[in-house]
Amino acid sequence: MPEPAVGAVIVTHIEELEAAIRYAHSTMEPMLEKAVAALLDDKRRALGWAGEAPADFDKTQWFAPEEWRMPQSDENDCYLSFVLDTVSCIDGHEPETWVGTIAGFAGAGIRFSASTEALGQRDWKALLRSQGSLIDELIDRGFLFDPKTGDVALTIPVSREALVAGFEEEDLEAALEPLGLAIDRIHAARSPLDRLVEAIKAARKT
């Protein structure tokens, strides 16, 4: 559609568009925040893991096995943890709403990304490049690895149809089940991830 035509359509439907964005921010986003927080808390507590899941997407939702905590730290510092992260649209921009992000608008999405407080970004990337077989094992288990950015992540595919049903029924538990399944996959990958933690500890000492 030519840009002038797009502009005309937007102006024609401006009331519906503005109302939809406001509703997404004021009603749908808080529902998602509460549902995601409840799911993450339930999963990590069932596993006996550390973490925080505030019902606020502007704050960090993270989790890690207790064994990954850094000793003698006053903060929640971990050798390795996973945080709820976003994937931008294919044009590099973020969607206007979290509903758009989770629903996969224009290639956007959510994922759990690995994070460390033990190493700086340069040392982290160097460590990952030195752990070829370990990274290959994680990739075989469905993890993504970008050597340029140092990103190690697990994509969370959320069904748009399931989200539609969840909002219609005012129950998002089934729609957000992929988050719980992703945590299960992280738990199942404890062996290579524990080895990564040991590699982080060794790199920190050098």
- 135-170 pLDDT, tens digit each: 999 999 999 999 999 999 999 999 999 999 999 999
What gap in Å lies between CA 129 and CA 112, rounded to an integer?
Answer: 20
What gap in Å lies between CA 105 and CA 94, rounded to an integer?
Answer: 9
pLDDT of 206 > 80? The answer is no
**What local confidence, expressed as pLDDT, does residue 186 receive?**
98
Q: 19 is in which domain, residue-wise?
A: 3-205
The chain-wide mean pLDDT, for the chain, equals 94
What gap in Å lies between CA 43 and CA 45, rounded to an integer?
Answer: 6
**What local confidence, expressed as pLDDT, does residue 1 receive?**
52
What gap in Å lies between CA 103 and CA 200, rounded to an integer?
Answer: 35
Phi, psi of 109 (to 5 degrees): 175, -170
What gap in Å lies between CA 131 and CA 48, rounded to an integer?
Answer: 28
Look at the chain and report how many structural domains it folds into. Answer: 1
Of 84, 92, 67, 99, the C-alpha closest to 196 is 67
Written as one letter, the residue type at 138 is: L
For the entire predicted model, the pTM comes to 0.92
pLDDT of 205 > 80? The answer is no
Task: List, for residues 81-119, the tens digit of each pLDDT value.
Answer: 999 999 999 999 999 999 999 999 999 999 999 999 999
pLDDT of 56 > 60? The answer is yes
Of 84, 39, 38, 77, the C-alpha closest to 58 is 84
**What local confidence, expressed as pLDDT, does residue 10 receive?**
82
Query: Token pair 């149809």 is at which residue?
Result: 161
Phi, psi of 9 (to 5 degrees): -65, -40
**Confidence tier at 177 by pLDDT (50, 70, 90):** very high
**Confidence tier at 3 by pLDDT (50, 70, 90):** low
The radius of gyration of the chain's CA atoms, rounded to the nearest angstrom, is 19
pLDDT of 42 > 90? The answer is yes
